[in-house]
Structure 1
Amino acid sequence: MGTPVSATDLARNLGDYLARVRYRRESFVVEKNGKAVAQVVPADEVGAASMSAAFSAWDSAAPPDPSFAGDLERVAAADRPPEDPWAL
């Protein structure tokens, strides 16, 4: 998985950690308040999803709830600026 490192230590020594990742191929798990929040790994180890995999995931997703459109309309209506901004 990777060597744990605090977010503070990573920020203070970012150049050193990036060099270790690049040249030594090390991986780190960044922790904030004792919880893992991110990983720093060599870029070529990260597999990018292909477009076909992305479309397959999209096609297999559940359809949105019918009430979702109504929710969006209510949010859009509540977020409209006033007709005359100087009339406030």
Structure 2
Amino acid sequence: MTATEASRRFSDLLDAIERGETITITRGNRPVAEIGPAHRRTGADLRAALEGIEPPDDRFVEDVNSALGLLTTEERDPWADA
């Protein structure tokens, strides 16, 4: 499918992808992209990705909490403390 056709028929393109098709988009008779169905992620996928990785240590948790403590919704002048 050409890029122009994909743009004009975007809804049809999404319908085809939703049915499981993978569409190649071309520009000037050469392929530039492939668009296909999104992969659904699950908790099992996350567990598999994290398998064998050591859990963070206490210092990591402290660093994250410290960084979160720096976040604020108030506007600050970043140069005021300099």
Alignment TM-score, normalising by the size of structure 2: 0.47
Q: TM-score, normalised by structure 1?
A: 0.44
Q: Name the structure, 1 or 2, with higher relative contact order (CA <8 Å, separation 6+).
A: 1
Higher fraction of helix: 1
